[in-house]
Amino acid sequence: MQQEFATRLFGCTNLRSVLDCVLDGGLEVTGATFGNIQLMDGESGFLTIAAQRGFKVEFLDFFQRVNADHVSACGRALRQQRAIVITDVMSDQDFAPCAAIAERAGFRSVQSTPIVSSSGVVLGILSTHFPDPHQPNEGEMDAIRSLACLAADAIIRMRARLETIKHSRALSSLGWHPVSCAPFDRDLELAVINYVGTNALAFPCRRVLDGWISVQTRARIDFYPTHWREWA
């Protein structure tokens, strides 16, 4: 089943589709009726609901922002950084401030599992909810933990892709283009652009079949650019 979920997640094209896939998978492996995924805001320390199934406005408003001090299962999972199961929310004294919300939402038990990166950073919480008192078996919890690991990798991958797109758009707005599409018949400014910054040559160059030459000296240059733009 882990390979099946990995294949599904690999086919996702954006963060929304990743979250939907993970949540549907969580409901599937636990046989739950309701569920949600909260994503972590590292700056504020709050979880916010990013995907959900089966809940109405009252629940969503009540649990929209949760931190590690919250008495809910997701708050405890964030605080303890491990899966939390409340088998009956109506008999759990610590959950009492949330009991009325749970009753109106129609769930009696809940499990919340952290989505944690390989470096130990909590990215979010995957929670599934059940209409009756319930204890997921160990096989179901193992499946949820495996799914949470896959989710962490997919979330990181999608965020990295988004940052790459933003970076590419920012470079394009400054006139920079990937070197693979550099023309042969124009004076160009060349640069290596990476996480360190922009290292641009101070003289115009032209592309030739096997490299680059200086427009001024016609000499071949030993430079391996990543980007080009029109020489101003």
SS (H, E, C) 30-57: HCCCEEEEEEEECCCCEEEEEEEECCCH
The conformation of residue 119, written as its DSSP 8-state character, comes to T
The conformation of residue 153, written as its DSSP 8-state character, comes to H
- What pLDDT score was predicted for residue 4? 85
Tell me the CATH number for domain 2-167.
3.30.450.40
- Could you give the CA distance from residue 28 to residue 211 in angstroms, rounded to a whole number? 55
- What pLDDT score was predicted for residue 168? 83
In the chain, domain spans: 2-167, 177-230
Quick one: which H or E segment has residue 18? helix 15-30
pTM for this model (two decimals): 0.75
- Could you give the CA distance from residue 119 to residue 137 in angstroms, rounded to a whole number? 28
Contacts of 214 (CB under 8 A, 6+ apart): 203, 204, 205, 221
**Digitized pLDDT (tens) for each residue of the chain, 232 residues in all:** 678 878 888 888 889 999 999 999 999 999 998 999 999 998 899 999 999 999 999 999 999 999 999 999 999 999 999 999 999 999 999 999 999 999 999 999 999 999 999 999 999 999 999 999 999 999 999 999 999 999 999 999 988 888 888 888 888 899 999 999 999 999 999 999 987 789 999 999 999 998 999 999 999 999 999 999 999 8
Contacts of 130 (CB under 8 A, 6+ apart): 30, 31, 32, 33, 34, 107, 108, 109, 110
